[in-house]
Amino acid sequence: MSPTTENAAVPEAAVAAAKPPLLETVHLSRHFRVGGGLLSRAHLHAVDDVSMTIREREIVALVGESGSGKSTMARLLAQVYKPTSGEIRFQGRSLADLHGRRDQLRYRSDVPMVFQDPFASLNPVYKVAHGIMRGLKLHRPDLKDAEQRHAEAVRVVEAVGLRPGAEILERYPYEMSGGQRQRIGFAQALAYRPKLILADEPVSMLDVSIRIGLLNVMAQLREKEGVSFLYITHDIASARYVSDRVMVMYGGHVVESGPTETVLADPQHPYTQLLLEAVPDPRAPLTVTTEAARAEPPAVIDPKPGCRFRARCPLAVDACDQVTPVLQPLAAPDHQAACHVNAPGPSASAASAVS
Amino acid sequence: MPSSTLLEVRDLRVVYDSPRGPVEACSAVNLDVRDGEFVGVVGESGCGKSTLLFAIAQLLSPPARVAEGTVGFHGRNLVTMTEKELNALRWKDYSVVMQSAMNALNPVTSIGAQFKDAIAAHESWSRQQIQERSVEVMRLVGIDPIHLRSFPHQLSGGMRQRAMIAMALLFTPDLIIMDEPTSALDVVAQRSLMVQIKELQQLLGFAVIFVTHDMSLVSHFSDRLLVMYAGQVVEAGPTRTVFDSPSHPYSEGLLNAFPSIRGPKVPLTGIPGAPPNLADLPSGCRFHPRCPKVMDRCHTEAPELYPVGEVLSRCLLHQGSEAAS
């Protein structure tokens, strides 16, 4: 009855290969003008040259520290910001070609967003039902009357693990815990029958003990409703728990990407290695922290060519100062890293030839 | 290193007065902190851990008040002290680092001016002495002293927390109380701040009470651990022992709530349900509605803290284990 059982017969790889990716970005960049004064020409490169794909029924984790550009990515995909350059394609069609309110609404219901702070993202003066019913009215013309909409609202609330749904809908946000509120955030998104949910740090404001419940909700929604997720986080351990693929961002660039287990078992970029070392794990001995852990992330204002991690990198060589490394394929399938030392490509060898 | 007892909390009971009568947020909490010791206090939101910390620092404001118990610090009871007596101790003998440095620092004055205020409250140092000490503490926490002239918004989240810690160190107090100082930071900044706190502690010898909801965070840093649930201490003991063999089902739940980056991937459940409303506590053991090991007696019998080897555990499973051992 659920789409899971239908699709289970077809090998997933075959399905993925036959279709264009659900969402794709091509050399996507977003720069912000910074500094005082109208004449300021300084630009902050929040997202620089990011090409990525999200396939159907896939959970992709975007991992990085504060200021790495991961939230800007989410806002670009949600069309809060327009790209400075590059392109976003959804189901093979460029977002630049979306014209008119109908197209826009359609995209927004296909790709909704779940926000970080469940205490700020729900309107405190309305019942839970309000937000969900409004979304249904706007995005679900297939539901004919209030009764059908209410039934659907109950369904989505129960789909995120809140029971009994009818009773939950009558509650105000203040009557619910942080974890329950964030589930409502997911229920609102789910009401649009989305293809892809952009989840920007959905669990970072919650207690550790209830985070796992929300991560399980994401896994279930993928399983039962066939939704893809872009899961944005700075916690690589939770990324491992839910995601199929992981992309690590640093200073606006994707520095490593690949299947989650491959990247975590064999991290190639020194920044990915640092992120993994920083995860507190009581089951493992404390590893010696490097100088790199001390440093602050870069403010990427009018960057010169070169690797953005070089100042913190224990492996930095001359080439890192001169040539920006690009993602190079590594031994494992689909595993890529942008590092002159651990993933040398043609650009690095060209640079060493010069020096 | 840990030797004499610096802080002695005895039977501390904190209540919030409400129209429907007092609500108990900390019930009969006992806690000892020795010189130079790092004590972690962990639990979910609403378990009373921040209330406990505010009660120790005498920062409670109505409707919260200490209903019973004592907080002995250097042998003097903080609970009965006047504001004036407390002011002489604050910053100097103990200091508090708050959760959100953005809100704890004054946004309209520079970091240096705020350091100067804290110093001027205690000493009549010359401008040069103040400057020298400010530069010194900034260097200790690894911030360029040039930032004494910066305003809070000009610093990153990690730097603001470090500046708060620098301020707490101005007089090298014996005790620093920290309320989730790393929760607004990302993993890398968090780890680096924790390492730094531990290094400073070893260098200067102050004791730390560290409150957090993330048990994994303190695993490598604290000497002893206090696990709180619904206003009560449910487990207390040496950190390593609590991690290696948690004796309360709640501690076990907290430990199994976060995914690991190593080893096989296992489905986790976290702790189902939510902490109880303190105004409407469950009968018997306060944890029984969420407990995976619940027994019939748990519904009616309220457990006490029973000794289990080196730790204390508030679980009926361990009742009578004292006699056995």
Is the Cβ–Cβ distance between B160 and B152 less than 8 Å? yes
CA distances from A109 to A59, A139, A166, A198, A213 (A): 18, 6, 23, 11, 25
Q: Which of A54-63, A172-181, A257-266 has the weakest average pLDDT?
A: A172-181
Distance CA B172, CA B98 (A): 17
Express as a percent the part of chain A with pLDDT over 70: 85
Cβ neighbour number for residue A331 with a 10 Å cutoff: 9
How high is the pLDDT of residue A346? 63
Confirm whether B98 is domain-assigned: no
Residue with tokens 């926000």: A115
Confirm whether B160 is domain-assigned: no
Is the Cβ–Cβ distance between A186 and A180 less than 8 Å? no
Distance CA A43, CA B244 (A): 50
Q: What pTM value is reported for the model?
A: 0.83
- A279 CB neighbours in chain B (<8 A) are 187, 261
How high is the pLDDT of residue A188? 92
Residue window 189-248, chain B: list those with CB within 8 Å of chain A: 189-192, 194-195, 213-217, 219-220, 243
**Residue B237 — very low, low, confident or very high, per pLDDT cuts 50/70/90?**
very high
Number of domains in chain B: 1
How high is the pLDDT of residue A284? 65
How high is the pLDDT of residue B2? 42
How high is the pLDDT of residue A5? 42
How high is the pLDDT of residue A248? 94
**Residue A127 — very low, low, confident or very high, per pLDDT cuts 50/70/90?**
very high
Q: What is the pLDDT of residues B88-128, one digit of tens each?
A: 889 889 999 887 766 788 889 999 999 999 999 888 899 99
Q: What is the pLDDT of residues B202-214, one digit of tens each?
A: 888 999 999 988 8
Q: In a 3-state reduction of DSSP, which class is residue B262? A: coil
Higher-pLDDT residue of A199, A283 = A199
Cβ neighbour number for residue B5 with a 10 Å cutoff: 15
Q: What is the pLDDT of residues B4-57, one digit of tens each?
A: 889 999 999 999 998 888 888 898 999 999 999 999 999 888 788 888 999 999
Confirm whether B220 is domain-assigned: yes
Distance CA A33, CA A41 (A): 7
CATH of the domain at B243: 3.40.50.300
Q: Domain span at residue B293?
A: 5-93+171-324
- B219 CB neighbours in chain A (<8 A) are 280-282
**Residue B146 — very low, low, confident or very high, per pLDDT cuts 50/70/90?**
confident
Is the Cβ–Cβ distance between A275 and A76 less than 8 Å? no
CB contact under 8 A, B186 and A66: yes
- A209 CB neighbours in chain B (<8 A) are 44, 213, 253-254, 257, 270-271
Confirm whether B122 is domain-assigned: no
Is the Cβ–Cβ distance between A9 and A2 less than 8 Å? no
Confirm whether B203 is domain-assigned: yes
Mean pLDDT for the stretch of residues B241-264: 86
Among A240, A261, A293, beta carbon nearest to B191 = A293
- In chain A, the domains with their CATH numbers are 3-256 (3.40.50.300), 257-354 (no CATH)
Confirm whether B151 is domain-assigned: no
Q: What is the pLDDT of residues B300-312, one digit of tens each?
A: 988 989 998 889 9
Cβ neighbour number for residue A27 with a 10 Å cutoff: 12
Most confidently modeled range among A16-20, A303-307, B186-190: A303-307
- A287 CB neighbours in chain B (<8 A) are none
> Residue A320: pLDDT above 70?
yes
Distance CA A30, CA A32 (A): 7
ipTM, interface predicted TM-score of the complex: 0.76
Which two three-digit tokens encode residue B92? 């100097």
Mean pLDDT for the stretch of residues A61-74: 88
Q: Which residue intervals of chain B are DSSP H helices? A: 49-56, 83-89, 101-104, 111-120, 127-140, 157-168, 187-204, 215-218, 239-244, 249-255, 321-324
Confirm whether B64 is domain-assigned: yes
Confirm whether B113 is domain-assigned: no
The DSSP code for B176 is E
Among B187, B192, B270, beta carbon nearest to A213 = B270
CB contact under 8 A, B158 and A177: no
Is the Cβ–Cβ distance between B134 and B55 less than 8 Å? no
**Residue B313 — very low, low, confident or very high, per pLDDT cuts 50/70/90?**
very high
B249: left (phi over 0), alpha (psi -120 to 50) or beta: alpha
- In chain A, whose CA is at the least distance from the CA of B195? A289
